[in-house]
Structure 1
Amino acid sequence: MKLSFLAAFALATVAPLASGYAIKGDAVNCRSGPGTSYSVKKTYKKGQNVSISCQQAGTSVSGNNIWDKTSDGCYVADYYVQTGVNGYVTSKCSSGSSSGSSGSYCKTLNQAGLSLIEKWEGFVSSPKPDPIGLPTVGYGHLCKQKNCAEVKYKFPLTKSTAQQLLNDDIPTYTKCLASYLNASKVKLNANQWAALTSWVFNNGCGNAKSSQLVKRLNNGENPNTVASQELPKWRLAGGRVLQGLVNRRADEVKLFKTASSKQAFPKCS
């Protein structure tokens, strides 16, 4: 009884602290679930105060996998909320998925995959041509409209809004990659999945679909062998070998061959 009373008292004293936390990022998305693959319900401005009703684990953002459910009924990454700690400040949400995978393949990437993409794409605050002349912004976002008008974040981007834009873009590439792979023959862990998504992000869904890499995986060949042999072939841009692509492929192979206990395809754990 004493332990139960103390636990109840502790919870009661924590609950009031779940109000009035300031948003510390620019244009922070509040989503329908605890992950970057969920739809955006609203956007908070920097400095805006939010109340947190509960917290739960979800997609990791810069090493923090806690998501805060706000009084608006949507979820915001705890990384962008100034709670003063990296842990829980209120009770865990009683229901809902703990990841953005919707019970199937991982729609988002682990931090190692996101960091790899950020490293090789580089940060661009306002739209400008990449090495082969394609207009990009943020961490490799390819402009779809003039001056990247489709981007909802204000230019010049900060690194924070560029990371959010990257998280918005990633599900497009995980979705196409998942649709090309034979789920009965291909099993990938989180690092393998992240490495391949980086490759698709860089080369496009169409090229991935027709690639020998995908065909060999679907034939049931050893994934590490396939990645080691096929990824380095993707080193051309504009018809010429780019050392940056050679180095990026090497990083992707290294990440692919790094052991991970977490599964990403066909099921996300």
Structure 2
Amino acid sequence: MKLATLATAIAFALSSLTLAANGYTVKDSLHCRSGPGTGYAIIKIYKKGTNISISCQTPGTNVLGDTLWDKTSDGCYVSDYYVLTGTSSYVTRKCPSKYCVEINQRGIDLITEFEGFVANPSPDATGLPTVGYGHQCQTKGCGEAKYKFPLTKATARELLVNDIPSYTKCLGSCLNNVSLNQNQWAALTSWVFNVGCGSAESSSLVKRLNSGESPNTVAAQELPKWQLAGGKVLPGLVRRRAAEIKLFTTASSKKAYPACQ
């Protein structure tokens, strides 16, 4: 009996040492949130001196110069600034992105309004064959669309919804230091849908968001720069950018990037 008790005590001590070796100390009372940013809901609070385990790390809201956030074994996120990891860099793997693959209804409505409905494949204003609500044909006759032509507005909307993930994937891959709500995410998706992924990736808009500037300020200043087609300002693009800014700056409590709610 004594040997069994001793073995149990040793096992407990070893497990405690393992936790201490793999864990990191919280240097102050710290909120653990539902996502990597100060705008996310507080899930729990760690007391100063608590030893936590970090499952992965990801960029998030800038906290006193540190944009790294740690996902704990409790499944919530803390600012790495308040965790004694011994470095300001990654100490474990990067968290998989959980951004919203789809966009909200406001975003879908905005895109359909400005793309306009086309029942059969035909060249758009730039000469590219499109159908539905801005679907660019990838094969002859738009065979990849998998819908009968002429499209109805309902099937065109379905096609648009199917297309959206390729544009949100573009956004998710080029953003790394910003927290966006679902209206902001939808507005930027509309913009990428219009200008293309390559243009978005190399844009000053994305660079400024990644540098930690205020998203609303960046959107208001950068989106109006994308009003040209063929070197000329198009009234339709002026209206579209204004609508995207309006949607972007409309408050929403639902998050979209880097964690979806």
Length-normalised TM-score, structure 1:
0.61
Q: Which residue of the other structure, out of 221, 239, 256, is the alignment partner of 1:229?
A: 221
Partner Cα separation in structure 1 for residue 230 and residue 196 of structure 2 = 14
Q: Which residue of the other structure, out of 191, 196, 201, is the alignment partner of 2:188?
A: 196
Q: Which residue of the other structure, out of 217, 220, 233, is the alignment partner of 1:241?
A: 233
Q: Which runs of 5+ in 2 are unaligned?
A: 1-95
**Structural RMSD (CA):** 1.2
Q: Tell me the alpha carbon deviations over residues 129-159 of structure 1, each in whole angstroms, 9 at most, x when there is no partner.
A: 1112111100000111122121100000011
Provide the residue aligned with 2:166 in structure 1: 172
Q: Which residue of the other structure, out of 96, 107, 112, is the alignment partner of 2:106?
A: 112
Q: Which runs of 5+ in 1 are unaligned?
A: 1-101
Provide the residue aligned with 2:118 in structure 1: 124
Asked whether the 8 Å contact 1:103–1:268 carries over to 2, the reply is no
Provide the residue aligned with 2:63 in structure 1: none
Shift of 1:240: 1.7
Partner Cα separation in structure 1 for residue 145 and residue 220 of structure 2 = 35
Partner Cα separation in structure 1 for residue 233 and residue 149 of structure 2 = 32
Kindly report which structure 2 residues correspond to 1:30-41, keeping only aligned pairs within 5 A, or say none: none
Provide the residue aligned with 1:145 in structure 2: 139
Instruction: State the SS of the aligned residue for 2:144.
Output: coil
Partner Cα separation in structure 2 for residue 239 and residue 149 of structure 1 = 32
Which protein is bigger by CA-based radius of gyration?
2
Instruction: State the SS of the aligned residue for 1:261.
Output: coil
Provide the residue aligned with 2:251 in structure 1: 259
Shift of 1:103: 7.9
Provide the residue aligned with 1:97 in structure 2: none
Kindly report which structure 2 residues correspond to 1:146-161, keeping only aligned pairs within 5 A, or say none: 146-161=140-155
Instruction: State the SS of the aligned residue for 2:252.
Output: coil
Q: Give the ranges of 4+ consecutive aligned residues of structure 1 lying more than 3 Å apart after TM superposition.
A: none
Aligned residues: 166
Asked whether the 8 Å contact 1:198–1:252 carries over to 2, the reply is yes
Partner Cα separation in structure 2 for residue 150 and residue 161 of structure 1 = 14
Asked whether the 8 Å contact 1:106–1:174 carries over to 2, the reply is yes
Amino acid at match of 2:140: K
Amino acid at match of 1:165: L
